[in-house]
A and B are shown apart, each in its own frame.
Chain A
């Protein structure tokens, strides 16, 4: 109810909205906090409409029971083909403010069909961070699409785990197990806490559960989708764990042939930086690990009424297309490179990415 209320008022009066939200949050805080602390909060649910391509919908807590009944739990969509093959884990919403990652994952669940192997899609990897919009950023709280079945909305989430869902940030955050130090708030950054900790903070437990999934499901490829601000050095790039660099090189050159430029980088060395998905999944599991960065005009130095969906330079449909086509090229390169041909993974997108017209995504969301 509260969400719908916010949503209706948003356009007319952001100030009123902020005041209302603040009062509601402040009023509820004493009531809400004890409930969350005792670990009985429900995870946020989202409007996702799977098709027959999805064989099973589970919970991340199926892989780590410590997440059950916490705001860190999230849905895991399992898609599998008639042909046996390898497995890929695709993460959206590690940073839920990087909205193309969420939408790309949603489109996979709603449109794709897997013809070989198994595809695990988690559209809201850090579901706690997708429960709120960071009030410090001047971005819309909800993204709205007019589809054939009516208006659909998606939360513009935050980068960090909801501060209400985790104990107070430490002064300095010590990465586990390396001991590498970050600013305190990075303890709520899912892409700094990998490979997680079984009895750690909520964020560490989300990470731990993802690693359990990769282990238990014998995942061969992990792809973590992100976005960066337009000026950032790593915008439009594919970052590969060193073991995955050959697959990434092939993908990059094939994308270039098709007319898409993508910057290729490899993970920082393990003694220089810690906690990033591409580094830690590559080091701690048997999977080839990749991170994709598209460009989000809503990140970085945002002023005024930034257009997230129909931005003239970086429309959301292009960013989603970039994510999905990079995934396709990673998998086709993996299929060529993988020594075991019985480990192939093939996804049919069933979306004509090249011809997304207008706001585009409205037409392919169910």
Chain B
């Protein structure tokens, strides 16, 4: 009697555990693909955010290629399994790369098309806070965040809820971090 009760409880517990696990897995699979190394770190808008992501990737020892102006052709040649694109527009950065905003939009467009074709998932990050939320940045955010499979945003950059809204509308998981450095452990956890 006693024995079977314990057994029943154990079975019940295992069943519940299994259910929870199954839901968890199904949930994850439904929302995002698996992200694997090596990663390409690129920019959408040429702000210093991409360089910040490079520093973070080094900190958690991710294997990466850093190419803020990566093109579709370059992606084809690269041996990467995930694209991490850091969004933020900088006139100075674009100028330094010899690009204007339209060049940048078409480069990123082609890059994302190629990534989809090669089944390489895209993570979009915004880690420079409110100060990197001008008109030009907003244009890029609205255009490219919906193409991503995961969003990481620094809180003050999402004060108006734009990233949350894009996440809701497009069913993309989102992780909000207080400080840019907080994106490092998220990347580490997310990417195998």
Contacts and interface: CB of A to CB of B under 8 A. Distances in A.
Partners in one complex: yes
A250 B52 CA distance: 7
A245 B51 contact: yes
Given A245-B48, A246-B51, A246-B54, A264 B92 contact: no
A242 B96 contact: yes
Contacts of A261: 129, 131
Interface in B55-109: 55-56, 90, 92-93, 95-96, 98
Contacts of B55: 246, 249-250, 253
B179 A257 contact: yes
A136 interface: no
B181 interface: yes
A264 B179 contact: no
Interface string A147-188: 000000000000000000000000000000000000000000
Contacts of B120: none
A144 to B, nearest CB: 35
Interface residues on A, range: 20 to 34
Given A249-B51, A250-B55, A253-B52, A264 B95 contact: no
B178 to A, nearest CB: 9
A178 B170 CA distance: 50
Contact of A249 (B48, B92, B131): B48
B179 A249 contact: no
Given A246-B51, A246-B54, A250-B55, A265 B181 contact: no
A268 interface: yes
A269 B181 contact: no
Nearest to B127: A253
A272 B48 contact: no
A272 B52 contact: no
A12 to B, nearest CB: 43
Interface in B154-192: 179-181
A213 to B, nearest CB: 27
A246 B57 CA distance: 12
A298 interface: no
Nearest to B132: A263
A256 B127 CA distance: 11
B155 to A, nearest CB: 11
A311 interface: no
Interface in B104-142: 128-129, 131
Contacts of A267: 92, 96
Contacts of B51: 245-246, 248-249
A266 interface: yes
A263 B54 CA distance: 17
A252 interface: yes
B52 A266 contact: no
Contact of B179 (A250, A256, A266): A256
B52 A269 contact: no
A333 to B, nearest CB: 9
A182 to B, nearest CB: 18
A240 B93 CA distance: 11
A283 to B, nearest CB: 12
Contacts of B48: 240, 245, 248-249, 252, 264-266
A268 B95 CA distance: 7
A249 B92 CA distance: 16
A303 B180 CA distance: 38
Given A253-B55, A266-B90, A267-B92, 10 more contacts: A246-B51, A246-B54, A249-B51, A249-B52, A253-B179, A254-B181, A266-B48, A266-B93, A268-B92, A268-B95
Interface of B: 48, 51-52, 54-56, 90, 92-93, 95-96, 98, 128-129, 131, 179-181
Interface of A: 240, 242, 245-246, 248-250, 252-254, 256-257, 261, 263-269, 272
23 contacts: A240-B48, A242-B96, A246-B51, A246-B54, A249-B48, A249-B51, A250-B55, A252-B180, A253-B52, A253-B55, A253-B180, A256-B181, A257-B181, A263-B128, A264-B48, A264-B52, A265-B48, A266-B48, A266-B90, A266-B92, A267-B92, A267-B96, A268-B96
